[in-house]
Amino acid sequence: MVATPIGNLSDLSPRARAILAEVDLIAAEDTRHSSGLLQHFGIHAQLLALHEHNEAQQSVQLISQLKAGKRIALISDAGTPAISDPGSRLVALAHLHEIPVIVIPGPSALTAAVSVAGLSALPVHFYGFLPPKAKARRQVLEGLSHTSGTLVFYEAPHRIEEMVGDLVSLFPSERTLVLCRELTKRFESVHRCSLAEVQAWLAGDTDRVRGEFVVILEGAPDRERIDPLIEGRRVLEILSASSLSISEAARAAAKITGANRSDLYNWALQNLESGEDSIGSNSED
């Protein structure tokens, strides 16, 4: 299993280069794509395609070649094979046949982004790509809304705005989000902000939605470390959409979270939009 660069060709390790030059065969996700990389390094190897649609059948064929003594490297289009990329079925089959599998570790968008995000509370949950369909994506995200630690997603440029929109609508606005774009490439950027700010930032420049993304979201706060005022505001925000008046909602949120009722009430007056009868007809008694 040989990791290849996620953008910057200089990130191919000397060991990866040596192994790719000496194996009998390189199984590659996209042979045309990988031949560019190999040419750049002057490697002339036999290539065979192994992608998600033919992995099951190719794996059987590769196992027989491995058993015959051939040394085979597996690479993907970018980064580490089998991380949101094909490869794990072949590896599982190799283990089953007691064929040694070794890894030449190196670039991965996952580790690169976690490393640069400054958000690495454990556990780090790597989700990979969310479902492309809105309903399924939202269902997955709802299921993750109370997950603590750090959430890591891969996302394509044509879906980034929609995906971020879902994060904004389903997670508390104070959560930190880190958008890691085009890492190791010419236009790489790492933007860290709160969910409350992210859509305005994305809308600020069309270049900000271009390229490949790793999206890292701060997980739910540790129960013991929850600030009652922050939690109170979150609950109050939810309750403000109900028929409760601001005063009633502040009282309920204070009871639920232990935050100070007056602090919540005053915050709601300044920050929450509410119907006339809510604020107008209720005073903080």
Separation of alpha carbons 34 and 4, rounded Å: 10
- Is the separation of the CB atoms in 239 and 232 below 8 Å? no
Interaction between residue 5 and ligand SAM (CB under 6 A) = no
With a CB cutoff of 8 Å and minimum separation 6, the contacts of 18 are none
Binding mask 27-66 for ligand SAM (x = CB under 6 A): ----------------------------------------
Which residues share a beta bridge with 178? 192, 216
Interaction between residue 73 and ligand SAM (CB under 6 A) = no
Binding mask 203-232 for ligand SAM (x = CB under 6 A): ---------xxx------------------
- Is the separation of the CB atoms in 236 and 268 below 8 Å? yes
With a CB cutoff of 8 Å and minimum separation 6, the contacts of 165 are 199
Binding mask 227-266 for ligand SAM (x = CB under 6 A): ----------------------------------------
Least distance to ligand SAM from the beta carbon of 81, Å? 6
Nearest one of 172, 127, 181, 132 to 151, comparing CA atoms: 127
Residues 89-128 that bind ligand SAM (CB under 6 A): 108-110
Among 1, 2, 4, 7, binds ligand SAM (CB under 6 A): 7
Nearest one of 228, 279, 225, 219 to 256, comparing CA atoms: 228
Interaction between residue 76 and ligand SAM (CB under 6 A) = yes
Least distance to ligand SAM from the beta carbon of 19, Å? 17
Interaction between residue 83 and ligand SAM (CB under 6 A) = yes
CB-wise, 108 or 257, nearer to ligand SAM?
108
Separation of alpha carbons 119 and 276, rounded Å: 41
Nearest one of 201, 212, 29 to 112, comparing CA atoms: 212
Nearest one of 31, 34, 33, 36 to 54, comparing CA atoms: 31
Among 6, 62, 114, 252, binds ligand SAM (CB under 6 A): 6
Residues that bind ligand SAM (CB under 6 A): 6-7, 76, 78-80, 83-85, 108-110, 154-156, 180-185, 212-214
